[in-house]
Amino acid sequence: MTEKSSPAADAAEAAALEAGRLLFSRECLFLVSAADEKQLPSFALSEVAFAGRSNVGKSSLVNALTGRKTLARTSNTPGRTRLLNFFELGERLILVDLPGYGYARASKTDIAQWSKLTRGYLKGRAQLRRVCLLIDSRHGLKASDKQVMDELDLAAVSYQVILTKADKMKAGALARMVEETGKALAKRPAAHPDCLVTSAEKGTGIDSLRAALAALAEPPAAE
Ligand SMILES: Nc1nc2c(ncn2[C@@H]2O[C@H](COP(=O)(O)OP(=O)(O)OP(=O)(O)O)[C@@H](O)[C@H]2O)c(=O)[nH]1
Ligand SMILES: [Mg+2]
């Protein structure tokens, strides 16, 4: 079903896109990595975290959003990101690239470490305004994603599901995946009701995501 547009809705959408463009035209800097709870930094800015199974494209999405190809390290090998990596976007928002979960070949110690540090961060971080929960659009929601969603729902942490790697999908299959995922989200209290579709490779959905994240950033300082 397509939403009817009105001049007011069109103007609001254009303003949101412009806010996203302005925010993400600002410089994005790597700040710090955290390997344990004691290393978690404390900044006076809201945070948006990128979570999801290993290899879904979290680091690539951070790079696509910020227009920097090598800001966050990406890899063909699942399990590339092992630490929580914090980036500051123009003194207005912190982006947090998280290690992936569900990486079958990681050692038990690694998995336990992910669980403790990342789950702890996701559930207990006062400044965390939104979790972008990335799902590979070819695979859809897996048991491990549902478990993380259960935890976010329980902790009342707002999350936005993002179907990634859209360039790898045919239009019909992608539309079915969007519908199926949307149905699963309808019953979840902390989920944003609509999922976004992105391709870090082709730039699909990047402007919409920038617009959504701009609504969470510190307002620009008065000139
Ligand atoms: N075709 C395509 N490939 C993508 C896209 N996004 C990421 N990839 C590829 O998917 C692989 C994994 O990407 P990463 O961004 O490292 O994934 P990640 O979720 O950060 O992985 P971990 O840090 O290991 O959890 C890389 O080979 C990327 O080039 C996309 O939108 N389209
Ligand atoms: Mg990564």
221 assigned to some structural domain: no
1 assigned to some structural domain: no
Domain residues for the domain of 132 are 10-214
Q: Is the ipTM of this complex over 0.95?
A: yes
Ligand 1: residues with CB < 6 A are 52, 54-60, 74-76, 78-81, 99-100, 164-165, 167-168, 199-201
User: Between the CA of residue 99 and those of 25, 125, 140, 196, what are the distances in Å?
Assistant: 26, 16, 19, 21
Angle, alpha carbons 70-76-81 (nearest 5°): 60
pLDDT for res 141:
97
Res 220 pLDDT > 50:
yes
Going by alpha carbons, the residue nearest to atom 14 of ligand 1 is 57
Q: Going along 90-195, which residue ranges are E strands? A: 93-97, 128-136, 159-164
Q: What is the pLDDT of residues 128-180, one digit of tens each?
A: 999 999 999 999 999 999 999 999 999 999 999 999 999 999 999 999 999 99
43 assigned to some structural domain: yes
pLDDT for res 57:
95
155 assigned to some structural domain: yes
Q: What's the total number of domains in the chain?
A: 1
* Three-class SS state of 153: helix
Backbone angles phi, psi at 105, to 5 degrees: -90, 0
The DSSP bridge pattern shows strands 84-89 and 28-34 to be antiparallel
2 assigned to some structural domain: no
Res 14 pLDDT > 50:
yes
Q: Are 101 and 114 in contact (CB under 8 A)?
A: yes
Backbone angles phi, psi at 220, to 5 degrees: -60, 145
219 assigned to some structural domain: no
pLDDT: which is higher, 208 or 113: 208
For ligand 1, mutation pick of 65, 75, 76, 98 (most atoms within 8 Å of CB): 75
Task: Report the CATH number that the domain containing residue 84 is assigned in CATH.
Answer: 3.40.50.300
The enclosing H or E element of 147 equals helix 143-155
208 assigned to some structural domain: yes
Going by alpha carbons, the residue nearest to atom 1 of ligand 1 is 165
The mean of the pLDDT values for the chain is 90
222 assigned to some structural domain: no
**Average confidence (pLDDT) over 173-198:** 96
pLDDT for res 62:
96
